[in-house]
Amino acid sequence: MLSLAITVLFALTGLIATATVAHCLVEARAAYVRLMREGEVMRAGFALQAAAVEMALRPAPRRAMATRRAGLPVGLPLARPAFAA
């Protein structure tokens, strides 16, 4: 019984792996055909129009101002190691 369950598990895993590879091959073929078509259009001298999603403006990054930390008083020199002359 255990050997039958293991065999079914391996067979099911193999079928899922085969279906996954086949799906990836179909998507890769479609992407390749699309890229070749875009290449032909560009070689003909036309520019492709970007999708509206790619043209959307991103929000400007927030810039933080550097603030002075209150640790050392302003007028005192920094501590130096003893070997530095």
- State the DSSP code for 85: -
Q: Where are the domains of the chain?
A: 23-50
Q: What's the mean pLDDT in 11-31?
A: 97
pLDDT of residue 7: 97
Whether 73 contacts 79, CB under 8 Å: no
Whether residue 56 is predicted with pLDDT greater than 80 in this model: the reply is: no
Give mean pLDDT, residues 69-79: 62
In the predicted model, is pLDDT for residue 74 greater than 70?
Answer: no
